[in-house]
Structures are given as C-alpha cells and as structure tokens.
Structure 1
Amino acid sequence: MTVLSEVSGALEAAADPAAAVALARYFKTGPGAYGEGDRFIGIKVPMLRKIAKPYGSVPFDADSWLPLLRHPVHEYRLAALLAMTYRFARATPNEQAAIHGCYLDNMAFVNNWDLVDLSCRTLVGDYLLDRERDLLDELARSTSLWERRIAMVSTHSFILHGQTLDTHRIALVLIDDRHDLIHKAVGWMLREAGKRVSEPELLAFLDRHATALPRTALRYAIERLEPDVRRHYLEFR
C-alpha cells in the first residue's frame, strides 16, 4: 500500500461533511477571499496530527508525498506538511535538506495561514538555525502573501532559541505590507519575542517603530504588556 492510499483512506474515513462547510467558511474560500476555491472534507488538526504522526518514523521520499502535498483538498496538504515536520525532527542532515528543499519547491501549495503556521517554523526556521538566513528576506519581499507569512512565522524557531534579531528585521521588511494576515503575523512574532526572550527588546523596538506599525500588528505585539504600557503605545495610533 502506498503513502497516498494509506493517508487518503485515513482522511476519507475521518471526513465530516458538516465540518467541511464550517471550515470552508472559516478559511475564507469564497470568491475574492484569500482562500478562494480551496476544498475541505472536514477534519480538524488533532485528527490530522494523529494521522500524520506515524510517518515521522518513515524515511522521507518526496515522490511519495507530492501527490498529497499538491492535492486540491486542504486537509490532504496539511496532513502531508505535518508528516514532513514529524519526520524532519528525526531525519539525518541530508534528509532534512531534502525535506526543506521539497517545502521550498512546493510553497505554492502552502496556501493558507494554518498550512503556513503549522509547518514553516520547523521546515524553514529549524533548518536555518545554523545557516545563513537571507532566504527569509527574499520570501518577505515576495509577491506571494503566503511566502511573506512564511518569512515572518519561520522566525518563531529563532525566538525559541533566544534569538530576536531576525524577527525584528523581517518585521521591518514587512512593516508597510497591506494584508491583514501579515499584520497579524508580524504582531504575533513580536509578541512572542517579547514574551519568550526579552520584553525590554520589544519595548525598544516599539519605541522606534510603533508609529509605523499597522494598528493590527501593534495590538498583537502589545497584547501581553501591562495595561498602562499598552495604552501608551496605542496613543501612537
């Protein structure tokens, strides 16, 4: 039995038509929306994790996973991405490079915020921990909304290792971005950097850039600060 048939069988068995309608609405699949045309079969993340996790012990073969990663149904793509993250954690350096390369080659299919957020910290951020990070600047300047979000959210890996410079740098690259999903990602990562690494560094960043940050990004970034500090920065906007 192939990976495609195994995973497809598990996904179809877990499908819920009623949930599919709700998910399609939640992920904005209507005309002109960011998820326009995406299809759902109604499986939530915990079940997708349960389906994908056993493949963390299976050596990665891109040809086996590409039909799932490029599948028109959202949950198929997410299952493939989750399996890749599980395998990445256990893979050899060469295998990690192959997984990372496969991810970059197929970013066109990582095309909603949950697909980005549940994959890029591992498949981009973790891979770049001990490497040059120019890729993030390239992605942050992409015309693709999802590649720009990948650039920002991938810095979560560095935050978890006590590093904030890349988070702050990519936030500045994206400071004039017009899309709400980028504003949210920027604010989220700034907040995480302040919470997990250094609140004084976050405050210093905000002192310099709060007036230029989109209001949504600013509100996300200051969410965990003391009320009087939040009010201070909101006065800039």
Structure 2
Amino acid sequence: MDAAALVDALRSAADPEKYPQRHYHGDGGVLGVRMGTVFSMAKSFTGLPMTEVDRLLDATAYEPRLAAFCVLDFKVRKAKLPDDERRAAYELYLARHDRIDNWDMVDRAAPRVIGGYLHDRPRDPLFELARSTDPLRRRTAMTAPLGFVGSGRPHDLADVFALASLLAEDADPVVCKPVGIALKYAGVQDEPALRAWLDQHASSLARPALRYAVDKLDPAVRRAYLG
C-alpha cells in the first residue's frame, strides 16, 4: 500500500468531462474523480504509512491531495489510535498546509485532525493560524474548533469566541462562513454567551458569518440581529 497505488486508482476512476470539479479553485488541475469515489478510495487506504500520505501531498492534481487529507481524517477517527500517530497526523497537516489550495481540504480534516488533537491541549496554534495572511490557514483556525466545541466546556466556548473576535471583520468568503458556523455551534451549547458576543460584534461581523451565527436562534431574535 503506497501513494502511487492510490494515485493510480484515482486516475483509473477519472472522468473529467463528467466531474470537472467546478468547486475547485486552486491551480493544480484536476483528474475528474467523483467526490464519493475519492472518499471511499481514501477510506480503503486508511492504513497508508504517514510517509506515503506525505508523498501524496506532493501531487500536482487536486484529488490526490484531497485524498491525503481524507486519509488523515479517517486515521484519527479510530478510537484506539496511539497518541503518537494522532500527533503525527496533526503535525503533517500543519507542516504541509501549503499544499491546501481549496476549502474542502480544510473542512475534511481540520475538525478531527487539528481540533481533535487540541481537545485537551493549548489552542495557541489556532490563534497563530487566525493571524495568518493565508485565508485557508484562517479557515483552519475556525474550522478546527468544530472538533471540540460540542463539548460545551466553558474554556472551549471561550476559545471559539476569542478566535471569532479576531476574524469577525474578515470578509474573505473562505473565512467568514466558518466563523459563522463555529459561532452557531457555540450558541447551541450556550445561547446567552453567543448573544452576548453578538451584542458586541454583530455590527462588524461579515454578513455571511452573521447569517450562519444566528441560524439556530429564535426567529424573532434572528431578525433583530439581521436587521
């Protein structure tokens, strides 16, 4: 089992006319593989050694790199995965973040690979990512908390609100949607805390982020924030 075998499998399933990957906005070009096929192939390669996952990330085309992040995600879903392997997945994601050139690579792996690893660890790496000039790194900063916000622990929610405060005015579409989504799920755990945050930041929050943030609130409250 190696990276070349997975790339060969993806190439054999490619049909670029049928699957042109219009959602892909990077510069690497596409093979043209159905997303469900990418995910199922990646799952079958969950046992791929980390060195081979790293090699996948050297690919120019979009699908092999997306598959690499899917493999990382499938690896860390294992409840009994040794902590050193969980750490290796976390470190590889961050070390090769430069190979992320589309939003779905972040969304596929960041919650479990990054957020899951930081569940009981300091969140300083997320704040560093939030201050990056790269919008995809900022997306990681706001998507990773989906891996721990559901706990409802006060310090988890506090970190989500602090990260959102850093990125509240970020109008980049790659960033503002995950800001709103993270806030929405923080509000599911503690609606008064979300409303207190919105009372302070709603006027400066990028409009798409605001729409997502208030999505679970009572309709009358939602209308009040949306104006």
TM-score > 0.5, shorter chain as reference: yes
Match for residue 167 of structure 1 among 160, 165, 169: 160
1:190 aligns with 2:183: yes
CA distance in 1, matches of 2:90, 2:65: 16
CA distance in 1, matches of 2:217, 2:33: 35
The aligned residue for residue 117 of structure 1 is 107
CA distance in 2, matches of 1:157, 1:166: 12
Q: Is the 8 A contact 1:19 1:41 kept in 2?
A: no
CA distance in 2, matches of 1:72, 1:156: 29
Q: Is the 8 A contact 2:30 2:62 kept in 1?
A: yes
Q: Percentage identity across aligned positions?
A: 36
Q: Once the 2 structures are TM-superposed, how far is the Cα of residue 211 of structure 1 from its aligned partner?
A: 1.1
Q: Which amino acid aligns with 1:53?
A: K
CA distance in 1, matches of 2:218, 2:74: 37
1:230 aligns with 2:222: yes
Q: Which 10-residue stretch deviates more, 219-228 or 101-110?
A: 219-228
CA distance in 2, matches of 1:133, 1:146: 18
Q: Deviations over 1:94-120 (max 9, x none)?
A: 111112111111000122110001011
1:51 aligns with 2:77: no
Q: Is the 8 A contact 1:191 1:222 kept in 2?
A: yes
Q: Once the 2 structures are TM-superposed, how far is the Cα of residue 63 of structure 1 from its aligned partner?
A: 2.2
1:147 aligns with 2:137: yes
Q: Once the 2 structures are TM-superposed, how far is the Cα of residue 93 of structure 1 from its aligned partner?
A: 0.7
Q: Which amino acid aligns with 1:192?
A: Y
Q: Once the 2 structures are TM-superposed, how far is the Cα of residue 45 of structure 1 from its aligned partner?
A: 2.9
Q: Aligned to 2:45, what secondary structure does the other structure show?
A: helix
Q: Once the 2 structures are TM-superposed, how far is the Cα of residue 70 of structure 1 from its aligned partner?
A: 2.4
Q: Once the 2 structures are TM-superposed, how far is the Cα of residue 224 of structure 1 from its aligned partner?
A: 2.7
1:214 aligns with 2:206: yes
1:102 aligns with 2:101: no
CA distance in 1, matches of 2:18, 2:134: 28
CA distance in 1, matches of 2:18, 2:28: 14
Q: Is the 8 A contact 1:113 1:146 kept in 2?
A: yes
Q: Which amino acid aligns with 1:179?
A: D
Which sections of structure 1, spanning at least 5 residues, go unmatched?
Answer: 29-34
CA distance in 1, matches of 2:37, 2:190: 35
Q: Deviations over 1:144-178 (max 9, x none)?
A: 11111100100111112223221111101112323
Q: Is the 8 A contact 2:106 2:139 kept in 1?
A: yes
The aligned residue for residue 62 of structure 2 is 74
Q: Once the 2 structures are TM-superposed, how far is the Cα of residue 231 of structure 1 from its aligned partner?
A: 1.3
Q: Is the 8 A contact 1:194 1:202 kept in 2?
A: yes
Distance 1:46 1:161, change over 3 A: farther
The aligned residue for residue 52 of structure 2 is 64
CA distance in 1, matches of 2:91, 2:68: 15
CA distance in 1, matches of 2:219, 2:87: 44
The aligned residue for residue 14 of structure 1 is 13
Q: Report the TM-score when normalising by structure 2.
A: 0.91
Q: Aligned to 1:118, what secondary structure does the other structure show?
A: helix
Q: Which 10-residue stretch deviates more, 172-181 or 140-149?
A: 172-181
Tell me how large the CA RMSD over aligned residues is: 1.6
Match for residue 89 of structure 1 among 53, 60, 77: 77
1:126 aligns with 2:116: yes
CA distance in 1, matches of 2:18, 2:146: 30
CA distance in 1, matches of 2:184, 2:103: 18
Which sections of structure 2, spanning at least 5 residues, go unmatched?
Answer: none
CA distance in 1, matches of 2:52, 2:77: 19
CA distance in 2, matches of 1:73, 1:166: 35
Q: Aligned to 2:88, what secondary structure does the other structure show?
A: helix
Question: Number of matched residues?
Answer: 222
